[in-house]
Amino acid sequence: MFLGDLATPALVADWATLEHNLRTMAAHLPGSRLRPHVKAHKCTALAKLQRDFGHHAFCCATIREAEGLAVAGLGEDLLLANEVIDHERLARLRHWPVVVAVDSELTIAAAARAGIVGVLIDVNVGLPRCGCPPEQAGRLADRARQAGLEVAGVMGYEGHAVGIEDRALRQEVCEEAMQRLLVAYGEVGGTIVSAGGTGTFDLNRWATEIQAGSYVLMDSQYAKLGLPFHQALFVWATVVSLGEGYAVADCGLKALGMDHGNPTIDEAQVLFCSDEHVTFVPGRPVRVGEKIKVWPAHVDPTVAYHERLWIAEGERIVEAWPIDLRGW
């Protein structure tokens, strides 16, 4: 099979670029220094590749991701880096060595009722998302231990820092966030300080493990940062219509994560995306039926829209990997 044989829109990754990204990260953060976040690709075949490159511990965002990894033989060391209230669903993970993030008495109670053994205290380090204030972390750790849970340490995601284009400012914001996390760690104890992402993988020297995920496939948002990883992922699309000064391809909002803005197309200016279409101004003549690469701005939600990832070596399709960790 070749690229031209694929029905579009199709999610495709270039094998050589994918391998470069895996090898580069393994050299920078070998072994337990990296806990790859599978929410970026939701694919056990790709997680097995990450294990082949020396990374045996994984980070998950959903119960489905954690359970799917465990069933696939990748459950050696799992972190569910998300708060869960539903103890009955969480109990599906009690047979595997899963550590769960908690940031309140309710999430601690859910983990205890589910039979989960270990937790990390999730700390708000500046991103207004999950996490307790640093000054509450010690109290929650005590409450978790009283509930019979093992407190393995702390986690805190500096997501407000990872995408800052100015590297010096990115490092400054990262350090401020990690100082908040270390204050909490001093009260909590344990052996793990889990943090970081692709944008701070080489800046965050305070965490014991980095939760990077996007580095494997990359997107145009991270490409702006000058990282040593390259864009492997694109959506293969077909030009379906020509207008006066513009063209339309069959790759729209239902095939692309758009929260980081428009995708990019080589030698073209993207005007906008609608449900099924991307409208762009080509920098060279294009024709109806021509295939193009559409580069997503945000890899994680883009992957979640698709059922499979096609692996290409040049024009040849060599693998088809199910996106088998989709859903919740």
**Which one, of 190, 1, 22, 163, lies nearest residue 102 by Cα?**
190
How many domains, the chain?
2
Q: Please give the Cα distance from 110 to 79 (Å, whole number).
A: 16
118 with 236, same domain?
A: no
Are 302 and 212 found together in one domain? no
In this structure, the answer to whether residues 260 and 152 fall within a common structural domain is no
Residues 278 and 211 in one domain: no
Which pLDDT score is estimated for 328? Answer: 83
From 219, 254, 275, the end of a domain falls on 219
Whether 263 maps to a domain, the answer reads yes
Residues (pLDDT < 70) of the chain are: none
In this structure, are 200 and 244 located in the same domain? no
pLDDT, tens only, 141-184: 999 999 999 999 999 999 999 999 999 999 999 999 999 999 99
* Torsion-angle region of 274 (φ positive above 0: left; ψ -120 to 50: alpha; else: beta): beta
- 54, 194: one domain: yes
Boundary (domain end) residue, out of 189, 219, 249: 219
CATH number of the domain at 26, please: 3.20.20.10
Instruction: Note down the domain range covering 208.
Output: 15-219
Q: 96-135: per-residue pLDDT in tens?
A: 999 999 999 999 999 999 999 999 999 999 999 999 999 9
Query: 210 and 114: one domain?
Result: yes
Residues 245, 134, single domain; the answer is no
Q: Which residue do the tokens 């939701």 mark? A: 42
Residues 6+ apart with CB under 8 A from 105: 140, 143
Clarify whether residues 92 and 52 are in a common domain: yes
- How high is the pLDDT of residue 193? 98
Residue 39 lies in a domain: yes
Whether 179 is covered by a domain: the verdict is: yes
Q: CB pairs under 8 A, 24+ apart, for 320-324?
A: 321/43, 321/45, 321/46, 322/43, 322/44, 322/45, 323/11, 323/41, 323/42, 323/43, 324/42, 324/43, 324/44, 324/68
The verdict on residue 168 lying in a domain is yes
Q: Are residues 124 and 259 in the same domain?
A: no
Distance CA 111, CA 90 (A): 7
Of 193, 219, 245, the domain-final residue: 219
CATH number for the domain harbouring residue 298: 2.40.37.20
**d(Cα 93, Cα 70) in Å, to the nearest integer?**
9
The dihedral sign for the CA sequence 215, 217, 222, 225: positive
In a domain, 327, yes or no: no
Tell me, what's the pLDDT at 233? 98
Assigned domain for 71 exists: yes
User: Domain for residue 328, yes or no?
Assistant: no
Amino acid at 214: S
Q: Is residue 224 part of a domain?
A: no
Q: Are 203 and 158 in contact (CB under 8 A)?
A: no
The count of other CB atoms within 10 Å of the CB of residue 217 is 29
Say whether both 184 and 246 belong to one domain. Answer: no
